[in-house]
Every structure is written in structure tokens, then in C-alpha cells.
Structure 1
Amino acid sequence: MQKISFTENLEFNDKKIVTQVLLETSFSKEIRILLKKGQLMKEHKAPFPIIVHIVKGSIDFGVEGTVHVLEQGDIITLAANIPHDLLAKSDSIIRLTLSKLDAAERVEKVVADS
């Protein structure tokens, strides 16, 4: 058993998006993404399905040209290889669930390129 918190030890950064793998299981990786209002993760794709959960805040979640407003508590799924982007409408804490087969480094690269 492992216990973590998505809302403790928050260190938002005005200059860059902050990502951290908080939990890795036999089937998934749970990543916390901290976005300050106005920060953007540019369009990208994931090689496996993902789950995005808005723990706090709100974002515009663009999927293939359509913007979906996601608010605190919302959770969505997205199939593999679907282009998407994220724009923080307020300071936001996002839980990203990746397949165990996906790499957290891929997410870090998306952030670095944004």
C-alpha cells in the first residue's frame, strides 16, 4: 500500500510548469502537474490512453481543435494518439494517470517544449 497527497508540498513556478511522479504502481504512473494561471502545455499526443483529473483550479483542455472547460473535480479520459493541449484558467493542480508502459520523461519533454 502507498499513500500520497496531490495537495501537499505544492511548489508552483511562475516561469515553468511543474511535474512530479507521485506514485507508480504495477499498472500506472500518477503524475501531478502544477500550472499557474496562463501557463500552456502545447499540443501533444500520448502513445497510450490517459486520464486527466482536475484536483483544483480550471483549465481549457483542447482536443483536436475543440476546447473543453474542465473545472475542479472533473475527470476525463483520452484515447491514445489524440492531439490535445492544456491552458490554465487559474492556478491548477492536475492529476495525470499514465499507462505503466508510458514514460514520465515524455511528459517532462512536453513541458520543456511548451
Structure 2
Amino acid sequence: MTTNNLYDNLEYNADKPAISVLLQTAFSKEIRILLKKGQLMKEHKAPKPIVVEVFEGEIDFGVDGQTHALKKGDLLTLDSNVPHDLFAKENSIVRLTLSIQDTVERVEKVVE
């Protein structure tokens, strides 16, 4: 068994979203993304389906030219290879579930 806490060691970066791995299982990687108000994760694609959950704050989630306002508690799934972006309307904590076949390095490159 492995445990972690989404709210431990919350350290927002001043210039870009903060990415950290919470857990890795046999089938997924659980990632925490901390976005300060005004930060953007530019448009990108995931090679496998993903799950996104907003734990704190509010983000605009762009998909196929449409913006979806997501708030605390909202949860979504997205198929592979769908272009999307995130913009923080408030300081936000986002949990991202990746396939075990996906890489954290890919996510980190999005915020460079």
C-alpha cells in the first residue's frame, strides 16, 4: 500500500505550474498540478486517456476551441490525443490521472 496527501507540501511556483507525482500504481500515475491565478498550461495532447479533477480553485479548461469553467469538485475524462489547455482563474489544485504508459516528463514539458 502506498499513501500520500494532496494537500501536503503545497508550494506554488511563481512563474509556471508546479507538477508533482503523488502516487504510481500498476495502472496509473496520480499527478498534482498547482496553478497560481493567471498561470496557463498551453495546449497539448495526452497519448492515452486522462482524468482531471479540480480539488481547489477554478480553472478554464479548453477543449476543441470551447472553454469549460471548472470549479472545486468538478471531474472530467478526456480521450487520447484531444488538444486541451488549462488556465487558472484562481489559485488551484488539480489532480491528473495518467495511464501508466504515459510519462510525467511529458507533462513537465508542457509547463516549460
Which residue does 2:8 correspond to in 1?
8
Q: CA RMSD in A?
A: 0.5
- After superposition, the C-alpha distances for 1:32-81 in whole angstroms (9 at most, x for unaligned) are 00000000000000000000000100100000100000000111000000
Post-superposition CA distance 1:78-110 (Å, at most 9, x none): 000000000000000000000000011000001
Instruction: Give 1:109's aligned residue.
Output: 109
**Percent identity at matched positions?**
62
The runs of 5 or more residues in structure 1 that have no matched partner are none
Equivalent residue for 1:50? Answer: 50
Question: Aligned partners of 2:14 and 2:109: how far apart in 1?
Answer: 18
Q: Could you tell me how far apart the structure 1 residues matched to 2:97 and 2:88 are? A: 18
Q: TM-score, normalised on structure 1?
A: 0.96
Give 1:27 deviation, angstroms: 0.2
Which residue is equivalent to 1:73?
Answer: 73
Unaligned runs of 5+ in 2: none
2: CA distance, partners of 1:14 / 1:49? 29
Give the AA of the match of 2:97. Answer: T
Range with greater deviation from structure 2 (3-12 or 57-66): 3-12
Alignment coverage as a number of residue pairs: 112
